[in-house]
A and B are shown apart, each in its own frame.
Chain A
């Protein structure tokens, strides 16, 4: 074992030696620096291993061979080992990253760099107050030097601001230290802590001074303009170090000194942290300079960490895990992002669209963003989870809200940025070249994130259940991403099918889950089949699709809250990437993500309440929510409804589904939406229905569902874009389902299931076929199509059948839903909602006819004359679905009966009974099979009759019509499609004025305006920044000690 003291000794030794030979041999100094960093990394690393493997006692190093407090002592415990290791790793990587720049500036720069990292080590290890001060100063002077690595005016100004601010702070710390010595009679931190200075009226000032200076070093909002400027102006490589290494060290200093003042100071710290977290994220929303944005984000994250320390007495033994989870994510992600920024060198985040030139970097970027927001499988996810759960246990709703709101705001800008990088079409993209030394560190950081994420998973309560098999599969698909489509497609389909067999025995007997598993997996296979029609390699499609399916199936498998949420987030992430693949889907993918995050946080909050009610980690906890049950139910419902796109939360859907790729739309529409339905069903089944909160909620949801349906169908009727029409139709269909299951009777749920299954099948067919046609004809506008029945008969039949199902026309299965609806509504007594539902149901015919007529009937356009049928790979899955529909229509009892039996126990009355093929309720009866037979027979007879009458009808060509004895010259003029429901719109269009969209726009503008107004405090004048610092001190003093 190499003693920790050698970190200092060797680093300084090398530094001095470099000074000695630096001038003469340049290369030597470079390697010497790296060797020094490497050595430090090695020392701290070996100590870390030592503490991990055989948990040995904490090592104390006495300098000068005298015992503290008379001499300075350092300490190397597990935390010190970990943090020094982190610092040294980022130091080493940073050294590699900056190697060329440092070398250009010369030996001295390298010396400074080396000493900088060393000083951070000492800051972490030292147990002496004054020594802490000294090495903080070493660190800040080194920083002030490194800022000037790129000599530009901005860097100079930033450095000056930094010097002045830290100068003042250091002074305050110095006074605090000397008085601490005066009161405690010692400079040793442990002695000072033991002296309990917080108690006495006089001595508490010293405590205050120390706290305030340490907090100020952590750049609290608003006294952090100087810090942000440093991030902005300095070389990103330095930004990475300041954000990852210095912040880590300072964070640990705060942790060391936390007990200084006693409990009541923790609240102040937490509040300051919270304000910083929310405030600086808020201002980030208005920021376009990448480095500055990262600065805001870093400060926000450190604010969160500060806040967590402030909440330490609440978090108890969870503190370490939570703090570590979030710290490590911030550390790796920020370092990575700053380094990326250094590679791209864009002045504006729009410029990051250049990342598209190297998909791998893009992948890394995505990794970092998702890690920062706290998506699985990254440590921050588990950190946040534990954090929320623990806070909930203590009943600290306010803190939970602050955390979730802050994280959401962070999502606002991070995902706008990611969206730009993935999709934005931006002129003058900076073109960058990747040198290995710049690329390697970023790469390592990404690995760290994944590795640590997987490593900490079992440490979370119930985390060990999380099933990583699907994720491994995703990883594998990433590995083979370079292969052509058909191979990856086969692999994916194979994987899903294999998983079907794997999961069937698990779910056997649980019909509810079995049905949804069927929808997700079978649907997955069928929709993927369409992928065979695609050419090329489709980079990144398959991993993301599989990630979505992994999430979906995970939701089904989940037995604990954690698993459920884990999979939920996974699904969100995957689907986001699928959606944003579309040509024009950047804004839609963005709003989808925002709604999803907000929803996820609502769910998280609800889960927190559920967990806190009984410390039960299993999903059953939803059944016994005793803390604010109404709020919990509402939050959960809202969370799930963001996925089902119910009225008010629907605005992301039309764009997202409409603009997505032709085979992605069916995935996200027919399959993904069902995840929300599943969530709602689980919630409704578990929750205590007797409670007034639940009943009121259900009543409201009933109305929401009904209105959603009306809005969806009506909007669909006025669309000209085929895919948006279908998207709105999905909104409406999900409205039906929401309404049905809110009824909470056996009939209602049967209706709900019928709709779920039907919508899954026909929407898959419609999106597949229409999507295929849209691609083939190269337009979304229906009025530019027409007459396709001649060219694509199979597609026509598929669409026709789906339409009959949507319309609920007997004899097809859609009618089953309508019939069940009627009975359910009469039984429940929700007559008016019911009336709205049926009204909407009839409006459906408007868009259905518009769709099929404008695309397949009417006049064939000249430029489509030599169109062929769409790819068989699209038709095959469609027709599989059609067969499914037909079976369901002819023999509904085989599906509805077992479902009825399954859900019967949950409901008081068993309302539906069966006589053979005949379904009976207290109101009416319906016999699907007979209807099928009767209609079938009669239809055949009548057809036969007509054929007999006019067997040899003569086929005439397109323009041969009764057109006022004229012959229409152009099909465009004759094809009646554009805005055909003008009259209807005139009469009822006012019903769908986009209030909701307007509302959300107003909201987002509000946020941006507030942000813009807030950030004016950063006037840029270094004097003002000094003023902020002093202001912070004085205000904090007055609040905390009221001037004694």
Chain B
């Protein structure tokens, strides 16, 4: 357990990289989406501009304390996952603070941000926020089913919950990736990932195309900026988690960038193809195919 300042600085650097990569990735994805829809789309540097603009807005309106610190919780969620996640395999500098907990820690730390966000938005008193949150919770409560099953499955497979060990077990070439050694679990997890990233068809939570709805409705300026920042970090971190679990982790930042891009692209790809589900539809959907896959993934180990 090393709380040294150098460790801290390395982690900070990692965070910076992840942040920027996240923004670049999101802009790219939005361009792809636009192209598929036959539009031109935003320039690749748009997110930076947005961020700067949001952070430099002068008006800050708050509905109260919880509303104020809600975004902090949210950002903490993203950053936390990053902190507890070993980024680049085999390199102590990029393993962050993963020594303080294993996979379970990360799985449950996801809720940290969500809860904070939900509470903050809730205090806003905006009905749309509450609606969005209720939808988000409903959906998330089912996404986790296949995810949990997949996690249990790989835990059985590798007899460990420590991410580093799981990655280590996958070293030794392409074919030793969980993707091949345990395709069912991977399938289940990747399907639940769709929900986690909240692109179409599972983006009823904050339906972007209609009137602004969903948790962030009331947030603006700096708060929104914080949320955007978190979004960037969170996407990369989650993608990195999946990379570690199923795609052999990353030996270097380059490998990480490629893999996370592809993982993220997968959800965007599905999103651009399929129309949106209603909540009960998505709930049912996640409890069908992905769950069955997950169950099979466990059965094969019995």
* A residues near B1, Cβ cutoff 8 Å: 916, 918, 927, 930
Any B CB within 8 A of the CB of A998:
no
Interface segment among A348-356, A524-532, A564-572, A961-969: the answer is A961-969
**What is the distance, in angstroms, from A149's C-beta to the closest C-beta of chain B?**
70
Whole-angstrom CA separation of A925 from B104 in the bound complex = 9
Q: List 23 A-B contacts (CB under 8 A).
A: A793-B65, A823-B161, A825-B152, A831-B302, A835-B149, A835-B152, A835-B294, A857-B66, A859-B125, A924-B103, A934-B100, A942-B75, A942-B76, A946-B72, A946-B223, A949-B222, A950-B60, A955-B62, A963-B127, A964-B211, A968-B127, A980-B131, A984-B279
In the complex, residue of chain A having the shortest beta-carbon distance to the beta carbon of B102 = A924
A826 touches B125 (CB 8 A): no
Contact of A953 with B60 at beta-carbon distance under 8 Å, contacts A849-B115, A853-B119, A962-B218 already known:
yes
Any B CB within 8 A of the CB of A974:
yes
* A residues near B125, Cβ cutoff 8 Å: 787, 857-859, 958-959, 961, 974-975
A961 touches B283 (CB 8 A): no
Binary CB contact string for chain A from 492 to 509 against chain B (1 if under 8 A, 0 otherwise): 000000000000000000
* B residues near A950, Cβ cutoff 8 Å: 60, 221-223
In the complex, residue of chain B having the shortest beta-carbon distance to the beta carbon of A933 = B3
A983 touches B278 (CB 8 A): yes
Further 5 A-B residue pairs, CB within 8 A, beyond A822-B104, A952-B60: A787-B125, A819-B105, A842-B144, A930-B100, A962-B217
Whole-angstrom CA separation of A924 from B106 in the bound complex = 12
Contact of A983 with B72 at beta-carbon distance under 8 Å, contacts A842-B140, A946-B222 already known:
no
B280 touches A831 (CB 8 A): no
Binary CB contact string for chain B from 210 to 241 against chain A (1 if under 8 A, 0 otherwise): 01100001100111011000000000000000
Residue among A843, A939, A987 having the largest count of chain B Cβ atoms under 10 Å: A987
Binary CB contact string for chain B from 84 to 124 against chain A (1 if under 8 A, 0 otherwise): 10000000000001011111110011011011001100111
In the complex, residue of chain A having the shortest beta-carbon distance to the beta carbon of B133 = A849
A857 touches B122 (CB 8 A): yes
From A808, A926, A956, give the contact of B102 (CB < 8 A): A926
Any B CB within 8 A of the CB of A846:
yes
Contact of A809 with B111 at beta-carbon distance under 8 Å, contacts A819-B105, A950-B60, A983-B138 already known:
yes
Any A CB within 8 A of the CB of B63:
yes
Binary CB contact string for chain B from 1 to 20 against chain A (1 if under 8 A, 0 otherwise): 10100000000000000000
State how many residues of chain B have any CB contact under 8 Å with chain A: 85
* A residues near B83, Cβ cutoff 8 Å: 934, 938
**What is the distance, in angstroms, from A63's C-beta to the closest C-beta of chain B?**
86
In the complex, residue of chain A having the shortest beta-carbon distance to the beta carbon of B278 = A983
Any B CB within 8 A of the CB of A658:
no
B138 touches A846 (CB 8 A): yes
B133 touches A822 (CB 8 A): no
From A961, A968, A983, give the contact of B218 (CB < 8 A): A961
| Size range of the chain A interface in the assembly | 35 or more
**What is the distance, in angstroms, from A844's C-beta to the closest C-beta of chain B?**
9
From A790, A804, A923, A983, give the contact of B161 (CB < 8 A): A923
In the complex, residue of chain A having the shortest beta-carbon distance to the beta carbon of B298 = A831
Mark out the residues of chain A between 34 and 68 whose CB falls within 8 Å of any chain B CB in the assembled complex.
none
Binary CB contact string for chain A from 982 to 997 against chain B (1 if under 8 A, 0 otherwise): 0110111000000000
**What is the distance, in angstroms, from A981's C-beta to the closest C-beta of chain B?**
6
B62 touches A826 (CB 8 A): no
In the complex, residue of chain B having the shortest beta-carbon distance to the beta carbon of A923 = B161
Binary CB contact string for chain B from 53 to 68 against chain A (1 if under 8 A, 0 otherwise): 0010001111111101
- Give the 9 A-B residue pairs with the shortest CB-CB distance, closest first: A924-B161, A983-B279, A857-B122, A924-B102, A976-B130, A930-B100, A953-B60, A987-B283, A950-B60
Any B CB within 8 A of the CB of A863:
no
Binary CB contact string for chain A from 816 to 849 against chain B (1 if under 8 A, 0 otherwise): 0011001101100001101100110011011001
Whole-angstrom CA separation of A942 from B82 in the bound complex = 14
* A residues near B72, Cβ cutoff 8 Å: 939, 942-943, 946
A804 touches B115 (CB 8 A): yes
Binary CB contact string for chain A from 778 to 802 against chain B (1 if under 8 A, 0 otherwise): 0000000001011001001000100
From B64, B145, B226, B287, give the contact of A955 (CB < 8 A): B64
* A residues near B281, Cβ cutoff 8 Å: 987
Any A CB within 8 A of the CB of B284:
yes
* B residues near A922, Cβ cutoff 8 Å: 159-160
Any A CB within 8 A of the CB of B155:
yes
Any A CB within 8 A of the CB of B80:
yes
**What is the distance, in angstroms, from B226's C-beta to the closest C-beta of chain A?**
6
In the complex, residue of chain B having the shortest beta-carbon distance to the beta carbon of A844 = B141
In the complex, residue of chain B having the shortest beta-carbon distance to the beta carbon of A957 = B63
A924 touches B108 (CB 8 A): no
* A residues near B123, Cβ cutoff 8 Å: 789, 857-858
B160 touches A923 (CB 8 A): yes
Whole-angstrom CA separation of A954 from B62 in the bound complex = 6
* B residues near A959, Cβ cutoff 8 Å: 125
In the complex, residue of chain A having the shortest beta-carbon distance to the beta carbon of B131 = A976
* B residues near A933, Cβ cutoff 8 Å: 3
In the complex, residue of chain B having the shortest beta-carbon distance to the beta carbon of A984 = B138
Whole-angstrom CA separation of A809 from B295 in the bound complex = 25
**What is the distance, in angstroms, from B213's C-beta to the closest C-beta of chain A?**
10
B101 touches A935 (CB 8 A): no
Contact of A808 with B130 at beta-carbon distance under 8 Å, contacts A789-B66, A930-B100, A946-B222 already known:
no
In the complex, residue of chain B having the shortest beta-carbon distance to the beta carbon of A961 = B126
A853 touches B79 (CB 8 A): no
* A residues near B109, Cβ cutoff 8 Å: 809-810
From B64, B79, B130, give the contact of A980 (CB < 8 A): B130
B127 touches A976 (CB 8 A): yes
Any A CB within 8 A of the CB of B292:
no
A838 touches B144 (CB 8 A): yes
* B residues near A832, Cβ cutoff 8 Å: 295, 298
**What is the distance, in angstroms, from B212's C-beta to the closest C-beta of chain A?**
7
A809 touches B115 (CB 8 A): yes
Whole-angstrom CA separation of A542 from B129 in the bound complex = 46
Any A CB within 8 A of the CB of B148:
yes
A845 touches B222 (CB 8 A): no
* B residues near A846, Cβ cutoff 8 Å: 137-138, 141
* B residues near A790, Cβ cutoff 8 Å: 64
Binary CB contact string for chain A from 685 to 700 against chain B (1 if under 8 A, 0 otherwise): 0000000000000000
Any B CB within 8 A of the CB of A807:
yes
A931 touches B101 (CB 8 A): yes
Any A CB within 8 A of the CB of B134:
yes
Residue among A789, A826, A924, A988 having the largest count of chain B Cβ atoms under 10 Å: A924
Whole-angstrom CA separation of A934 from B63 in the bound complex = 29
Contact of A938 with B159 at beta-carbon distance under 8 Å, contacts A926-B102, A961-B124, A988-B283 already known:
no
Any B CB within 8 A of the CB of A815:
yes
From A835, A949, A962, give the contact of B126 (CB < 8 A): A962
B144 touches A925 (CB 8 A): no
A953 touches B137 (CB 8 A): no
Whole-angstrom CA separation of A859 from B295 in the bound complex = 43
Any B CB within 8 A of the CB of A610:
no
A853 touches B133 (CB 8 A): yes
Any B CB within 8 A of the CB of A852:
yes
Whole-angstrom CA separation of A946 from B149 in the bound complex = 38
* A residues near B131, Cβ cutoff 8 Å: 976, 980
* A residues near B211, Cβ cutoff 8 Å: 964
From A849, A859, A943, A954, give the contact of B60 (CB < 8 A): A954
**What is the distance, in angstroms, from B221's C-beta to the closest C-beta of chain A?**
7
**What is the distance, in angstroms, from B31's C-beta to the closest C-beta of chain A?**
28
Whole-angstrom CA separation of A950 from B54 in the bound complex = 11
From B80, B126, B140, give the contact of A963 (CB < 8 A): B126
A852 touches B119 (CB 8 A): yes
B280 touches A858 (CB 8 A): no
* A residues near B128, Cβ cutoff 8 Å: 962
From A789, A850, A935, give the contact of B80 (CB < 8 A): A935
Whole-angstrom CA separation of A822 from B104 in the bound complex = 8
B156 touches A983 (CB 8 A): no
B124 touches A835 (CB 8 A): no
From B62, B111, B115, B149, give the contact of A953 (CB < 8 A): B62
